[in-house]
Chain A
Amino acid sequence: MFLQVVFILSALLTVVSAVMVVFTRHIMYAAVYLLGSLIGVAGLYLTLGADTLAATQLLVYVGGILIIMIFAIMLTGGQDFMKNSRKSFLQVPFMGNVKTYVFGGLAALVMGSIGTKLIMNVADRFSEHSEMLSYQSTIEVIGEALVTDHVLVFEISSVLLLGALIGAATIARPIKKQ
């Protein structure tokens, strides 16, 4: 039952935060709701037994990407980020046409069916598993795979990071005034 409770809480956190990211007007609040969403995803990884992935999510996303995003908001917002300067969902141009509504309708259908399944799942399995399930710890498996079977991925990722580092440093450099 612990797993069900954690799953419902994490899923709620993820979905509600994601919805709030889209619908809120203040851009800093959107970044904070994104934090909630990313923590919810880490919780979802926990329920699947992927402890390495959950810890990676916390370290990279929460500790790094979110801080970068907030720095970027401050860099590009100027004086306006303190006010509610984002337009509401329906006022943004090209948001009210047929494509959007069709896509939105399909997404609502998918979410509705997932929600129904969730509720039925909870009602079903309330007292089934009272013993704790077991999972295999993944960090050693991933480590072995990264150096034996998937070593090319490992090395290419380092080259990718090198490219990102040089590209980011070049783009963020101040422009030479000539």
Chain B
Amino acid sequence: MEHTIVGYFLQFEIMKNLVEMASSTLGFNASSIIAFIIFLTASLILLLIAATIGGLGTFAERKISADMQMRPGPNRVGPYGIVQMVADFIKLFLKEDIVPVNADRFLFYIAPILAIVGVLGTFAVLPISSGLIISDLNVALFYAVGISSLVGLGIFLGGYASNSKWSMLGGMRGAAQIVSYEIPVILSMFTVILFAGGLSFGAILENQSGGPIGWYLFHNPFTFIAFFVYFIGILAETNRAPFDLPESESELVSGYNTEFTGMRYAFFALAEYMEVFVVAAFASALFLGGYKIPFNIGGDSLIGQVLQAGMFFTKVALIYYVVIWIRWTLPRMRVDNLMTLCWKYLTPIAFFNLIGSAVWIYYFGNKSMWNLIFS
């Protein structure tokens, strides 16, 4: 219980009294039923937050792209257009669901489920703050990389099931792209894990401190390069431009999305924006110090937790802004450039980082460059 949100809540007197009350009324030790109820509530709240973030992502994308293109963007529905995402959702909810006659019905139903489950699974290990991390698994990073590969499978099956040439090509390219870029991403994660000594977010974040000097980004040159390799890799993993060939809007109509209408399309779009949020959260936790506040203001008290959650969302929002910024600045890459970039540039650089980090650890231990220069 210590490594989950239930363990954090059980520190308070109110929760302990509640558990005792429930145990006395039910007859047996009710701590696991209370844990289940807390987890269920936390999961539902997380689902709501995830859907809101997905919706806000679409809204943010439209507003930021409008800002970069010197036009106002959606501003009619509600103040500054913020209710636009609710309007979009209602519109998609009410659209007719057209399944093409020759499409594969079973796979058509399953593809959005795979995409959403693949993304929601990673929400369970997000390091929001030191107490509010839902589950501090010991193999959190390993598990997160594993379960986000379900999204690639969902895209592939969605493209196949539609039985349309555009979708098939989009699905195949999407699967090849997601699968190829997992290697530089995993190797960049190794660079950080070498210094952290553990796969859980608790271990990764306890070695970073709040101020920029303590982040792994500035720890040594190998992690610095690894951050950029990781960032390019996650742009490709989530099918964001300039790597958005699977859903390229000017080439393949809408790629694997073409035949999905209404709510099914909404789930694919939601999965994409939620996945950008999750990988941005991992980037901030691995390289930018996650929820840690400079000088550790507030400590572990409730105020501290709120501040830490605020810091987490700020960092993720910054990275999200950069991801959207890149989309509307760079043109799309051609498919052979994409594969060449992955296999001939990023993977050798990632291997070089890994070997360099291993040698650094052997000689200097966990000391950062600043420790070596100033002592």
Contact = CB atoms under 8 A, between A and B. Distances in A.
Interface of A: 1-2, 28-29, 32, 35, 51-52, 54-59, 62-64, 66-67, 70-71, 82, 127, 130-132, 137, 139
Contacts of B150: 62-63
A57 B150 CA distance: 13
Nearest to A134: B1
A6 B123 CA distance: 20
Contact of B147 (A58, A67, A132): A58
Nearest to A129: B32
Given A2-B36, A130-B29, A130-B31, A32 B146 contact: no
Most chain B beta-carbon neighbours within 10 Å: one of A1, A56, A67, A132: A67
A59 B142 contact: yes
Interface stretch (B83-91, B152-160, B248-256, B326-334): B152-160
Interface residues of B, number: 34
Contacts of B106: 29, 32
A130 B147 CA distance: 29
A26 to B, nearest CB: 8
Q: Which label, helix, strand, loop or mixed, suits the secondary structure of the A interface?
A: helix
A64 B138 contact: no
A27 B31 CA distance: 46
Contact of A51 (B32, B33, B138, B147): B138
B107 interface: yes
Interface of B: 1, 28-33, 35-36, 102, 104, 106-107, 110, 137-139, 142-143, 145-147, 149-150, 152-153, 156-157, 160, 163, 175, 179, 182, 199
B138 A137 contact: yes
A127 B142 contact: no
A67 B107 contact: no
A55 B139 contact: yes
A1 B156 CA distance: 37
B142 A55 contact: yes
A130 B175 contact: no
A132 B1 contact: yes
Complex A-B, nearest 9 residue pairs according to Cβ-Cβ distance, in ascending order? A63-B149, A58-B146, A59-B146, A55-B142, A137-B138, A130-B29, A55-B143, A51-B139, A55-B139
A37 to B, nearest CB: 14
Contacts of A32: 106-107, 110, 157
A60 to B, nearest CB: 8
A157 B102 CA distance: 45
B29 A131 contact: yes
A137 B202 CA distance: 15
Name, among A35, A57, A63, A67, the residue most crowded by chain B CB atoms within 10 Å (CB to CB): A63
B153 A66 contact: yes
Nearest to B35: A132
Given A51-B137, A59-B145, A139-B199, 11 more contacts: A32-B106, A32-B157, A55-B142, A55-B143, A56-B146, A59-B149, A63-B152, A63-B182, A64-B149, A130-B28, A131-B32
A66 B160 CA distance: 14
Nearest to A52: B139
10 contacts: A29-B107, A32-B110, A51-B143, A54-B143, A59-B142, A59-B145, A62-B149, A63-B150, A63-B179, A132-B32
A140 B154 CA distance: 32
Contacts of A67: 152-153, 156, 175, 179
Contacts of B163: 82
Contacts of A2: 32, 36
